A and B are shown apart, each in its own frame.
Chain A
Amino acid sequence: MRVIAHLLLAGPSNIDTGDTAWLLAASALVLLMAPGLAFFYGGMVRSKSVLNMMMMTFGALGVVLIVWTAVGYSLAFGDDIGLGLLGRPTQYAGLGQLLDPASNGTSTVPLLLFAMFQGLFCVITAALVSGAIADRARFGTWLVFVAVWSLVVYAPVAHWVFDISAGDHHGGWLANAVGIVDFAGGMPVEICSGASGLALALVLGRRLGFGRDPMRPHNLTLVMIGAGLLWFGWYGFNAGSALGANHKAAVVFATTTLAGAAGTLGWIALERWRDGKATSFGAASGMVAGLVAITPSGGSLSPLGAIAMGAVAGAVCAIAVGLKHRFGYDDSLDVVGVHLVGGLIGTIGIGILGTAAAPTGVDGLLYGGGVTQLGRQTLGALVVLGYAFGVSLLLGRFLDRTLGFRVAREHELGGLDLATHGEAAYDLHTVTAGRAGGHGILRPHHPEED
């Protein structure tokens, strides 16, 4: 009787078990992108700082989800407080408001699940930024940066782009007033992380030896494993953004797959033509570049359009990663060259390659839609680029002046794993292992030692 009474009180529920099952799985897939990214980035740095690189992602995972629960979700998806700029910060503070099934309203998936799904997007976006400052950032300052950045950069941009008005709920300005199309986060995720990464690369400066030493990836097999896990997790990211087990999710699953494949080929084809060899690092990077470009556009393209989008992103990003050497900024793991450039290609490309036959129903330039959507996409992309870059630059500078953002010179040279975490990633000594120092937290007996 108590159960029946509860059901009567809660009113009719619109929760769909198929939609909910898919979003549960998709959320777990997005979480898998965090270790995927940690492997991807970890393999790219030198062996003395691989654990620090991975810890920047795992640290972001911890910090972001708590900040997101406290107030981030409300800022992004609360009722708009004016002009489509920000959600009401107290509306879902702590997320306890979503315990009551009645809070789901007309949604076919529980809103608490939606909040976690979106929080994991914020995690990945924050973690992506760390690639720009590999091998030289203070870990504690990074965690503070990520906490504040999630609230002042990611959450507002997610509100502008992802929060669509419905009924008496008013969302963000880019999605509703401007009418941009961004299926899974070309602006909040890819452009945001790339622009913020560029800002932090400028705040911290170049790694010691940048431009003189090649600073090659220490473990390309880790990079390949990471790229593969990212692609697998990306299905949760893109097809999961359909928020249902439906035709739209299937279309995005297909376009995501094809863009990843074409991106791989686009990058290694360009490498083969320019440098004479198709590299594994290029294949992993091209795969990611294709997936980055399809993130906003997955719901707007035909299968052939997705192949074109992926191939263009792969080839253009392969060229774009050389920009840092031309302009002298040390975006260590190419967050700008892959995520900013790939995000711009995907976001603006909707205005060119979009077809009304796809779920989002917008014709681009090549399908006779004129330049209207192209203009909207370009406006949105540039506004988000400028906002994320500007705020990240100010925040980074402030933290650098107050807490300090860069490690001491000798720690950078000796490696961050030992200096920051008191660990070494690999102990390959066979005979002296266990007796040799340098793999733990040092407690010198002599005060003059360092």
Chain B
Amino acid sequence: MKLVTAVVKPHKWEEVKEALEALGIAGMTVSEVSGAGRQRGHTEVYRGAEYDVSLVPKVRIEVLVDDHDLDDVVRAVVAAARTGRIGDGKVWVTPVEMVVRVRTGERDEAAI
């Protein structure tokens, strides 16, 4: 079992969600976040004054997947989130030791 975390441009999250749903993956957690990466070093202008801001708005999508779905999921997320310009975000994968479905007590693959 793996946790796939994707941080993407705000206007791309719906396409990522649709790509996941096309793979039959219905479960995900979506949050609005701020972050910094290679896209750092923005200047924002407010009332004529310039400010350096380090954080830019992103959307984070987290999905639990079976190991054998992993490649398809990562490929689909990356394809859906890409614009080719800086700031497209990142996708990373972390191993998961245990998953429990709260309602039934089912564990691991059965709970995904």
Name A residues whose Cβ lies closer than 8 Å to a Cβ of B: 209, 409-411, 413-415, 422, 429, 432, 435-446, 448-450
Whether A438 and B56, one on each chain, are in contact in the complex, defined by CB atoms closer than 8 angstroms, is yes
Q: Which of A209, A410, A422, A443 interacts with B42 by CB under 8 Å? A: A443
Question: Which chain A residue lies CB-closest to B53?
Answer: A437
Q: How many B residues, CB 8 Å from partner?
A: 24
B23 interface residue (CB < 8 Å to A):
no
- Scan B20-58; emit 1 where CB is below 8 A from any A CB, else 0: 000000000000001000010111111000110111110
Whether B86 and A414, one on each chain, are in contact in the complex, defined by CB atoms closer than 8 angstroms, is no
Whether A422 and B45, one on each chain, are in contact in the complex, defined by CB atoms closer than 8 angstroms, is yes
In order of increasing CB-CB distance, the 9 nearest A-B pairs are A440-B44, A413-B11, A438-B57, A437-B53, A414-B11, A443-B43, A436-B34, A440-B46, A441-B45
- Scan B50-84; emit 1 where CB is below 8 A from any A CB, else 0: 11011111000000000000000000000000010
Q: Which residues of B contact A439 (CB under 8 A)?
A: 44, 46
Q: Which residues of A contact B9 (CB under 8 A)?
A: 410, 414
* Chain A at the B interface: SS class: loop
Whether B34 and A429, one on each chain, are in contact in the complex, defined by CB atoms closer than 8 angstroms, is yes
Whether B43 and A436, one on each chain, are in contact in the complex, defined by CB atoms closer than 8 angstroms, is no
Name B residues whose Cβ lies closer than 8 Å to a Cβ of A: 9-12, 14, 34, 39, 41-46, 50-51, 53-57, 83, 85-87
What is the total of A-B residue contacts with beta carbons within 8 Å? 71
Whether B57 and A436, one on each chain, are in contact in the complex, defined by CB atoms closer than 8 angstroms, is yes
CA distance A341 to B18 in the complex (A): 38
CA distance A445 to B56 in the complex (A): 13
Instruction: List 11 extra interface pairs beyond A409-B11, A422-B46, A449-B87, CB under 8 A.
Output: A209-B14, A413-B12, A432-B55, A436-B57, A440-B51, A442-B42, A442-B43, A446-B41, A448-B86, A449-B39, A449-B85
CA distance A448 to B85 in the complex (A): 6
Whether B42 and A435, one on each chain, are in contact in the complex, defined by CB atoms closer than 8 angstroms, is no
A409: shortest Cβ distance to chain B, in Å? 8
Beyond A437-B57, A438-B34, whether A450 also contacts B85 by CB under 8 A is: yes
Beyond A422-B45, A432-B34, A446-B41, whether A437 also contacts B83 by CB under 8 A is: no
Q: Which residues of A contact B57 (CB under 8 A)?
A: 436-438
Whether B55 and A436, one on each chain, are in contact in the complex, defined by CB atoms closer than 8 angstroms, is yes
Whether B55 and A437, one on each chain, are in contact in the complex, defined by CB atoms closer than 8 angstroms, is yes
